[in-house]
Each structure stands twice: as C-alpha cells, then as structure tokens.
Structure 1
Amino acid sequence: MNNLVQKVSEYMQEYHMVEEGQKIVVGVSGGADSMGLLAVLYELAEYFHLSLVVVHVNHGVRGQAADGDQSYVEDVCREKDVPCYSFHVDLKRFARKEGMSQEEAGRYYRYQCFEKVRREVGAQRIAVAHQQEDTCETVLFNLFRGTGLKGLTGIPPVRDVIIRPLLCVSRGEIEKYLQEKGIAWRTDETNLTDVYTRNKIRNHVLPYIQENINPAAGQHIQEMAGLLKDISEYIDRQGEQGFDACVTVGKDSSCAAIHSDAFRRLDVVIQREIIRRAIGVAAGKLKDVEREHVEMIRGLLDKPVGRRCHLPYQLQAVRTYEGISIKRETAGEAKRPESICIDVKAPGSYRLPGPGIVVELTVKETFKNEEIPINRYTKWFDYDKIKNGLAVRTRENGDFITLDGQGHRKLLKRWMIDEKIPRDEREQMLLLADGSHVLWIMGHRISDNYKVTGGTKRVLVAEIKGEKSNGRQYQSIVNGERSRYPDSRTG
C-alpha cells in the first residue's frame, strides 16, 4: 500500500470515518485534491468494502474550462465504473437570488447537491477533499479576521455525515501521489488569482512562511488546531455544566436569566461560554454575536439594576436584582438608540443616532479668566469629577441630575415631567451620563455637580455636531453671551 494511502487509511480509522460496507458520496471537482481523494478512496474501497458515488458540480462561471472539468471527471468515473452525478448551476444568478457572495453560494449549492445524492442512493457518508493547507488557510483567515477559540480549531475531520480523509496530508504529498500513479488533474485558474482573501493566504502568506520561516509550518498549524479543538471541546463541556447551574430558560426559550451568585464563582472563560449559550438560546443563533457583545453583558454585573445593553437579533441584556436577563426587546424598547460607552481616557468623536450626528469630546487644561461658551450644543464639564466613565444613552431607572450648588438632586423622570417633556420623546432623549448621574440632558441642561469652577484644573468639552436627530436640529447656537470665572462659571 502506498505511503500516502496508508497514512489516510490510519487517519480514517482514528476518526472512525467509515464502517465496512458503507456507501460514500465523493465530491470531485477535477482538481488535484479531489482527484487524489477519489484515487485514494478507490484503492481503499476493497479494504473497507466501500462503494463510491461521485458528484461533480459545474458552477457555470469558467465557461468551456468548467465544461472540460465536467467531461474529465465523467470520463474518469466511466473508466473506474463509478456512478457519477453531474449538476450545473448559473452561480452568479444563484448567488444574487440567495443574497450571498459567489464563494459562499458555490459552497452552499455543492453541499445541497451532495446531500441530495446521498439521500437518493442511500449513502452513509459524504467525502470532501480538504487537505492540510486548507486547515492552515482557515486558521489564519479566522485569526486575521478576528475570532474566538473555535475559529482556531481549523476544519473538523468529521462533521455529521461529512468526512475529510485528506486533512492529514499536504497538497504537495497529494500531487506527488498523483504523479506516481499517472493521474492527471484539472487546474482552476481562479485559484491562482488574488480575488478572494483565502487565495491571498494560499498563494502568498503560506508559501512565504514555509520558505522563509519553517517548511513544516503547515503541519505545526494543523497540530495546534487539533490541540485547540480538544481545549474547545473541554470548555464546551464545562460551559454546558455551568449553563445548567447558572441559567434559567423561559418557557418559550425567548429569555435566559443568568444568576449572578453562581455565575461570579466561575472562571471568566466559562462565564463567556455561558453568555454565548444564553444569547444563542434567546436568539436561536449566534452568527453575528461577537466578543464585544459578550463583554458588554459581563460588564453589566458591575452596573446598577436597570442598566441594559442592546444585542443582535433585537435582544437586550438587562441587569436585574438576581443577575442578568437576556430577552427580546419590546416594540418601544427596540426603537431606543443604543448605548455608546465612552473611554474618558481617549477622547474623540462618537457617532450618535441620526444622519452624520457625532458628539466630539476633548480634554483641555484651564487658565484664569478663560471664557466659557454659552451654547446649547457645546458644554464644559469638570473632567476630574467623572467617577464611573461616560456613556451616551437614553434614560434608565434611577437616573438623576443635580440641580444646584447645594447638591439637591431630582430623578430624571420627575425632571422630564416637570419640564413637560412629551411622553413619546422621553425615551428618545440622549443623555451624557456618569453611571446613574446625568451630566447633560443633550439639548437641555447640565448637572450642577459637574460645572466648571474656580478650582477646576481640567475641562471636558462636549460638542454635538451634525444635521438632525430625532426631529431636532443639532447646530451651534451661539447667542453671544459669555461668562468669566472665577466670578461665575456656568456650563
């Protein structure tokens, strides 16, 4: 038995890819990898008592070249007496119809064809031709794009009925095997271009690493992906146990309540896994859930009751007395602008809801007799009085504002009622808040607690710039009035 065939045979047995007597659907494009897969499985068919069925998909993108690929695969199958099912699709039209990229649509259509044939012929497995470099490309692509642990585990050898027998060998090994056997293969010229990000990794990044850093880099990346897969599976198991201990799921699975006491005792890695699971339960999927969403929810544990953050799929996480509740937003809540957390150590421009509306924050030193603008949309605050960090958000339970120099406070809800703010506008009004203490009701007044005084050393300048937001005009309304301090410093 050829060395490569022996290697693949042992790999298939290690991962229990097939059982004796099974029927296997083999995806064959005509390229080196898939021709190698067909040739190896054809050799192993007698050993494992397998029967093979080939599926070829012509994407209709490369014209006569694609037709040539189809004819070649069908001819090889005829010679080997292997049944071959060919499919043809106008991939560009299909991608437009499904709202996908051509690359994504091509993969989706191929696997639809594989599964259709598997069911028709009663096959137990679908074999596809991913090999070692494909794992490396996937790991590097996910790493460069930004990913969690699962994204670094590479391509699984077995997933449901799909098997990948060639993941244990490199493209170079496959091509050498084909040359020794006198088996030709077709070349897809689009793989040689840099149209797709994966092609750039395949054609430039990996070759550079292997030529200039370590020829065995591909093998090492695959081995690392295997180790991370084991770690990921362990975290999955721990996350499942933690989820059962910390989370209560609503009857219709639209709400997941995390209990803070049990949750806090767990390691942060398991906490993140539990949060992802809780979001998945409430949303029914996790596709657009990113690390920042998980960290926002973890951060709620240190926030006052009532604080919330908005998530994909019209979900919100709310700090409760017991912990954190992840649930669907109501119609009214869904219309609220999202909270924007601001790092006061890194002033800059922060986008607000509305066409081109931003709040611009700068920090400056004060000097004696400096003039403070009297301006509805530019306000100055004593920077050193900010305690908890800033957020631009709508109102929450417990919000208050300081009315005078004696420290008299008023709940924001009461202030809005006293000022006769229409009920439908109250949920839309934007605030600059330090925890529950409101510095600025934008377009209205500021808190007396944060006003610039004679003792102020650093000033936070907040200015709203833009056109319109929520039906109101945000613009510089300078009415000509100026104040001088230390006699009178107002905001």
Structure 2
Amino acid sequence: MEKAFRNLIKSRFPFLPGKKLLLAVSGGVDSVVLAYLCRNAKLGFSIAHCNFNLRGEESDADEDFVIDLADELEAEVFTQNFDTETFAEEAGISIQMAARELRYNWFEELSQTLNFDYVLLAHHANDDLETFLINLVRGTGLEGLSGINAEKDTILRPLLDFSRKEIEAYARQNNIKWREDSSNASTKYLRNKIRHKIVPVLEELNPQLLQSFKQTQSYLKESEALVEDYMSLIYPKAIQKSQYGYELDINFLKKIPNTRAVLYQLLKTFGFTEWNDVYNLLDAQPGKMVFSEEYRLVKDREKLLLTEINYPEDKIYHIAEGEELVMLPVGKLAFAEVDKIEKKEDFSRIFVDADKLQFPLIIRKWQTGDFFYPFGMKGRKKISDFFKDKKMSLPEKENTWLLCSAEDIVWVVNHRADERFKVTSATGKILKISCSF
C-alpha cells in the first residue's frame, strides 16, 4: 500500500511535496494510517483533531491518543473541543451535520490563520460507496451519484482509491494502533445502517462490489462532465443576471429538448425541491410562484424571475430640511438648489417646488391603496395601476420606493414625479432631487 500511495501522490497529487499540509486525524484507523503514509512519503504535515464531546471519556481518550501519535510522528498538533449538541440544537440541525460544519469551519480557520496549503482527509473507497447509497436512498441528481471529490479547492482525499480492508491490513502489518469509535457499531445513524446491513448483502451478491462501483462511478462522472459541457452552452442563452436576481427565458426553454432536466441543472443550487411545480411554471399564469428556503421563482410574462427571499421589516426613513446628501440602505439621495430645470429627460432626478414640500420628507416602500398625480397627466392614479401600465415585474414592484411629503407622494423614485410639486412660473426656489440606488 505504501508503494501505491507514493505512486498516487506522484500521478494525482504531484504538487504536494514541499507544501504545508494539515491532516485531519480522528484517531480511527483511516486517519491514523494516512498520517503514517504521509510521514513515510516524507510529506510535511501538522495534525488537527476535533473533540466533539459526544462520547464522554472516550472522546477525551481519542484526543490524548492523537496527541501521543503526533509526538511519535514528530508532527505539530492542534486540538479543538466543541459543544456539538448545543450547536446542533441552536442551529436546528442533526448531530452529524453539526459536527461536519464545526470541523470544516475550524479547518478553514486554521488554514487561513496558519497558511496551510491543503487539508487532507482520510475518506476511502467504502466511504464513497456509502455516500453513493445514502444519496440514492434520499434521492439525488447525477452529481449526488458521482462520488466524493478527491480534490475540491484545498480539500484533498488521497485514500479514495483504497478500501477499508486494505487500510486495516496495512495497519495490522505495520503494528499501527488506532482507536475504535464505539458509535460506529450502532445502526442508529443511516450511514452505519448502510455499512452494517446493506453493504454486506450487496457484497454477497457481488464479491467485487467496490470494483464494480468504481467502474460505474467513472461512467457517471463522464456523464456529469458531458452535462456540464452542454450546460455551459445553454446557460448564457437561458438565464441572464438582472437587477434583482436572474431571469430565465421561457420561450428559449420551451424550444430546447429535455426542458425539465435543463431547468433542474439551471436551478439545482438554489434549493428547490418541487421540480414538477418548477416545470409547470412555464405554462402558469403570471404571478404564480414556487419557493425554496432562500429563493423564489416567479412566473412573469415571458420570463421566470429568480430572486432571493427577503423579509425585512418595512422601513421608513426621514430626511430633514437642509440635508444635501442622504445615505440610506436603499441607496443615495442628493438634494441641491438650482436656478433652472435641466431639460434632459432622466428618471433618476426630478425638479420640484421646494416651498411645497413639508419636512421631514419620508422615503418608504409602496403600500396597497397608495396613489399619486403622475407628472404631465390630469387626475390621480393608483400606484398599483401605474405599475401595471409599466408592466413591472413583481421584484421591480417590491423594490420601488416612494419619496413623500407628509401623506403626499412627491416621487415614485426612478419612475415618475408627482404633478402637484412641479415647478411653475410662481416657483421661488427649485430643488433638484437625484438618486442612485
């Protein structure tokens, strides 16, 4: 195995020699063997150990074991204790997810603080198979079946080509000691249930299960690469960045083959799960929506509008008389007295009769029932009807602000001024108001 490991470093990770490496070592056979292999391959590394405090004295004994191992290997060691159960409860996630998040965040912190080039993890071929089966049980796309990445950013997994049996055999042949995690024997968790109950049955059916799995996985990765190449051609034609998120071209999506699969590939990173509802939006009435936890997909006339879900409290901002520049979370407003109106048409600025304004001015979001007197028109108009006439999308409506004097709307910002505040021959002081949102 040592020779195979050295050959693997030369062929797949030739950049590792001379780099500053951080090895995640739990005390289990996989990570302990990885530490010995790296030492024997003359790679420079430090060790990081997470104590999740989930098994009482056993967890503390694991930590002591790793400290002694680092001393034996003459490696620097870092240890970190976590209150995993409290973190999981406060975050509303499982213990396994909490432990994962805590350790990866700590590895990243160590890497950035101490300038480690790469973090090495001891996942092996059996872990890869178990992850495949977990994703298969839960339901997943092609990427969920193509396996654990051997290299992702600065995270490397150099043992993925080796089985658990090979790793344990190497440890025994070289009299390497390790710690057994008692929780690994429990079938309480899905991964353990698959490891102890499902995989043995599959190995009975096919003694060469891992080899067959690796072959299948290589085909899946090739298919995934093919899909990625296809999507790189589709993406710029199907989806465009907009002011408030993204716009998907419905007509284009309907013309291409496998529309449902393309929609999945375009939107899979945004957390949607109800894919039939997403697909049905293409023929739904305008205004129909589908939600994920953080995003919303809205059917507009010829577009699907993808925006983040924001639920801020309705804010009202007050602008005192005499202020020249007002910085707001919504943008910047500038006020300046001028001698005359600039005739150039520009919706980002208005000119008003300053004496008609009642300070402090108010800037707020529009509300149902709001109305104003559009500049250049007779009579009043509901803001909602104004939006409808302009064929504004739902995100555009939600992100439109009103500048008000007391109860009266002075400006539908960036769209239309109010007739009541216009400059006339009787105006004594002209105020120019401009915005950049």
TM-score, reference length from structure 2: 0.66
Deviation string, structure 1 residues 365-395 (Cα, Å, up to 9, x no partner)? xxxxxxxxxxxxxxxxxxxxxxxxxxxxxxx
Amino acid at match of 1:272: A
Contact 1:54 1:82 in 2 (8 A): yes
Amino acid at match of 1:11: L
Cα deviation for residue 43 of structure 1 reads 1.2
After TM superposition, the structure 1 = structure 2 runs for residues 144-155 of structure 1, keeping only pairs within 5 Å, are 144-155=137-148
- Rounded to whole Å, the distance in 1 between the matches of 2:135 and 2:224 is 15
Aligned match for 1:175, one of 168, 171, 184: 168
- Rounded to whole Å, the distance in 1 between the matches of 2:68 and 2:230 is 51
SS in 1 for 2:247: strand
Aligned match for 2:235, one of 240, 243, 246: 243
Aligned match for 1:223, one of 192, 203, 215: 215
Gap change, CA 1:256 and 1:328, over 3 Å in 2:
same
Aligned to 1:11: 8
Overall identity of the aligned pairs, in %: 26
Aligned match for 2:193, one of 180, 187, 200: 200
Contact 1:318 1:326 in 2 (8 A): no
Gap change, CA 1:143 and 1:17, over 3 Å in 2:
farther
Cα deviation for residue 109 of structure 1 reads 1.2
Aligned to 1:40: 37
- Rounded to whole Å, the distance in 1 between the matches of 2:173 and 2:295 is 57
Contact 2:263 2:279 in 1 (8 A): no
Gap change, CA 1:44 and 1:266, over 3 Å in 2:
farther
Contact 2:23 2:46 in 1 (8 A): yes
Aligned to 2:247: 256
Cα deviation for residue 62 of structure 1 reads 1.1
Contact 1:157 1:165 in 2 (8 A): yes
- Rounded to whole Å, the distance in 2 between the matches of 1:14 and 1:227 is 21
- Rounded to whole Å, the distance in 2 between the matches of 1:329 and 1:111 is 27
Contact 1:114 1:126 in 2 (8 A): yes
Contact 2:277 2:290 in 1 (8 A): no
Aligned to 1:315: 296
Aligned to 2:226: 234
Gap change, CA 1:330 and 1:188, over 3 Å in 2:
closer
Cα deviation for residue 204 of structure 1 reads 1.1
Q: Which runs of 5+ in 1 are unaligned?
A: 332-491
Deviation string, structure 1 residues 143-195 (Cα, Å, up to 9, x no partner)? 01111111101100001100000000000000000111110111001010011
SS in 1 for 2:159: helix
Contact 2:17 2:44 in 1 (8 A): no
After TM superposition, the structure 1 = structure 2 runs for residues 209-220 of structure 1, keeping only pairs within 5 Å, are 209-210=202-203, 212-220=204-212
Amino acid at match of 1:94: F
Aligned match for 1:298, one of 279, 295, 308: 279
Cα deviation for residue 89 of structure 1 reads 1.5
Deviation string, structure 1 residues 396-420 (Cα, Å, up to 9, x no partner)? xxxxxxxxxxxxxxxxxxxxxxxxx
Contact 1:27 1:129 in 2 (8 A): yes
Amino acid at match of 1:310: V
Cα deviation for residue 209 of structure 1 reads 1.1
Contact 1:132 1:219 in 2 (8 A): no
Point out the more displaced range, 95-104 or 69-78.
Answer: 95-104
- Rounded to whole Å, the distance in 2 between the matches of 1:232 and 1:80 is 40
After TM superposition, the structure 1 = structure 2 runs for residues 336-485 of structure 1, keeping only pairs within 5 Å, are none
Aligned residue pair count: 311
Amino acid at match of 2:279: R
- Rounded to whole Å, the distance in 2 between the matches of 1:329 and 1:74 is 46
SS in 1 for 2:46: strand
Gap change, CA 1:255 and 1:221, over 3 Å in 2:
same
Gap change, CA 1:79 and 1:328, over 3 Å in 2:
closer
Aligned match for 1:267, one of 236, 257, 260: 257
Amino acid at match of 1:306: P
Gap change, CA 1:328 and 1:28, over 3 Å in 2:
closer
Cα deviation for residue 17 of structure 1 reads 6.4
Aligned to 2:178: 185
Gap change, CA 1:214 and 1:119, over 3 Å in 2:
same
Amino acid at match of 1:296: D
SS in 2 for 1:166: coil
Amino acid at match of 1:176: A
Aligned to 2:117: 124
SS in 1 for 2:299: strand
Cα deviation for residue 137 of structure 1 reads 0.5
SS in 2 for 1:56: strand
Amino acid at match of 1:85: F
Gap change, CA 1:297 and 1:88, over 3 Å in 2:
closer
Cα deviation for residue 275 of structure 1 reads 5.0
Cα deviation for residue 273 of structure 1 reads 3.5
Establish whether residue 20 from structure 1 lines up as the match of residue 3 from structure 2. no
Gap change, CA 1:329 and 1:174, over 3 Å in 2:
closer
Amino acid at match of 1:30: G
- Rounded to whole Å, the distance in 2 between the matches of 1:43 and 1:329 is 52
Cα deviation for residue 255 of structure 1 reads 3.3
Deviation string, structure 1 residues 244-284 (Cα, Å, up to 9, x no partner)? 022222124x2313241x33343317x5345542x46xxxx
Contact 1:255 1:328 in 2 (8 A): no
- Rounded to whole Å, the distance in 2 between the matches of 1:77 and 1:328 is 46
- Rounded to whole Å, the distance in 2 between the matches of 1:147 and 1:58 is 31
Point out the more displaced range, 57-66 or 186-195.
Answer: 57-66
Contact 2:88 2:98 in 1 (8 A): yes
Amino acid at match of 1:62: R
Aligned to 2:358: none
Contact 1:139 1:225 in 2 (8 A): no
- Rounded to whole Å, the distance in 2 between the matches of 1:198 and 1:160 is 25
* Pairwise CA RMSD: 2.4
- Rounded to whole Å, the distance in 2 between the matches of 1:111 and 1:307 is 40
Gap change, CA 1:263 and 1:202, over 3 Å in 2:
same
Cα deviation for residue 304 of structure 1 reads 5.9
SS in 2 for 1:310: strand
